Amino acid sequence: MAVVPLDEMETTVDNSWWNPMGMRSSRSYKITFKDSQIPMKNLLGKPGNYYEQPAFSGGAVRFAAIQLGGAERLFDETRKYLQNLGRIDDAYQQMRLAQMAVAVASGNHWLASAAEKMDGYLAVPTVENSGKLLAHVNMMRTAIESIGTEVISLCQKSVGARGLNKPFHFERMIRDLSTYLRQPAPDASLADVGKYVLENKIPANDLWEMAIKNKQ
């Protein structure tokens, strides 16, 4: 990675390619550098530093928190929509909102657990604890992706075709969250969890517990 002095370089910027289904207010550009040289002082770290574990994959905690925030917003807006329509006594709507509540609450438990595991690794940064942290983070991101998908489906069923039309903004929120749920390598992340589990003989209740150094 490097800090690029753009004011000293000749570049071509292309913003025409970025036309996502959701997150349309976001921006992403392709920049072509022409005959550019980056001085050594502008380099950040050494080659390969960016991909060092567990910091690289552990960063999934950040985007998972944003994903869950989007799911929580859908939950809040769906509830408000039904309250305004006077549908709070509908048994099927009660069931859907209960399912959404279970989903977002479980997502918060996943995030809290991942934060706890990260603190444990930072306190005792061993190879063993790194493996536990990575496996747990990969489970967390998998679970929260499923939670986001479930909340989207339940929201759509709850508000129906009427709620997916303007002036309501469910359609936009669903597009935004659907886009942001698509993070890199979901299948590989889940497979890594399975690999970790199969390579260990630790009982299930201890499988994710961080190893703590004995106090002197």
> Tell me: the pLDDT tens digits for 29-64?
898 988 888 888 888 888 888 888 888 888 899 999
Find the mean pLDDT for residues 119-128.
93
82 falls in which pLDDT band (50, 70, 90)? very high
The whole-number pLDDT of residue 211 equals 80
CA distance 9 to 3: 12
Question: Per mean pLDDT, which range of 11-15, 81-85, 107-111, 156-160 is the poorest?
Answer: 11-15
pTM of the predicted model, to two decimals? 0.88
pLDDT for 2 beyond 90? no
The whole-number pLDDT of residue 34 equals 85
| 138: nearest Cα among 69, 189, 85 | 189
| 147: nearest Cα among 110, 195, 199, 189 | 110
pLDDT for 215 beyond 50? no
Percent above pLDDT 70 for the chain: 98
Q: At what angle do helices 170-180 and 60-85 cross, to 10 degrees?
A: 160
pLDDT for 171 beyond 90? yes
Find the mean pLDDT for residues 90-114.
98
The whole-number pLDDT of residue 216 equals 40
The whole-number pLDDT of residue 213 equals 65
> Would you state the CATH architecture of domain 54-206?
Up-down Bundle (1.20)
Question: Per mean pLDDT, which range of 12-16, 172-176, 186-190, 212-216 is the poorest?
Answer: 212-216
Q: Which residues are paired to 52 by β-bridges?
A: none
Find the mean pLDDT for residues 69-87.
97
> Tell me: the pLDDT tens digits for 7-36?
888 889 898 888 888 888 888 889 898 888
Terminal C-alpha separation, the chain: 41
- Alpha carbon separation from 22 to 2, 19, 44, 175, 182 (Å, rounded): 29, 9, 32, 4, 11
Classified as helix, coil or strand, 87 is coil
Residues of the chain with CATH 1.20.140.10: 54-206
Amino acid, res. 139: M
CA distance 63 to 186: 13
Amino acid, res. 70: G
- Alpha carbon separation from 115 to 46, 60, 122, 133, 148 (Å, rounded): 28, 11, 11, 10, 19
DSSP label at residue 109: H
Compute φ and ψ for 9, nearest 5 degrees: -125, 155
Q: Each residue of 38-47: b (16+ CB within 10 Å) or e?
A: eeeeeeeeee
Find the mean pLDDT for residues 131-154.
97
Q: Which two tokens stand for residue 54?
A: 């567990």
Q: Which residue has the higher pLDDT, 215 or 188?
A: 188
The whole-number pLDDT of residue 9 equals 84
Find the mean pLDDT for residues 54-75.
94
| 25: nearest Cα among 175, 188, 181 | 175
